[in-house]
Structure formats: structure tokens, C-alpha cells
Amino acid sequence: MCSVGDPFDFNMEGKLPVKGYVCKECGNKFKGIGKNVKCPSCQSSNVAET
């Protein structure tokens, strides 16, 4: 899940359209929502949907 600040862990699947992404800069795999998804590790917006 993409977030700002400290990481948090809760399951939103089934409630919002959560999609899987991979960062093209650092290779991090994560889940996110929204149109302007950024990698939680390196803050890059150069991501691809998996």
C-alpha cells in the first residue's frame, strides 16, 4: 500500500480498487490505489502495473 510518512498495515482489498505495481527504478513490488501512484521505497512515479 502506498502511503506518506510512517508505514501502516491494513487490508483495503475488496473495498477499493487496489492494484499491484512494480517500481521501474528500484524494483520494489507494492500495492497501491489511485492514479498517481509512487513507490513507497524510492518515491519514484516510474511504476508499472503487474
pLDDT for the residue numbered 40: 97
pLDDT for the residue numbered 17: 85
Q: pTM above 0.95?
A: no
* Residue reference for cell 506518506: 4
How far, in Å, CA of 41 to CA of 27, rounded? 10
Q: Model confidence over 3-49: pLDDT tens digits?
A: 555 555 656 556 778 999 999 999 999 999 998 999 999 999 999 99
Other CB atoms within a 10 A radius of the CB of residue 8 amount to 7
Which cell numbers hold the place of 38? 509512487
Q: Which domains does the chain have, with CATH numbers?
A: 1-50 (2.20.28)
pLDDT for the residue numbered 41: 97
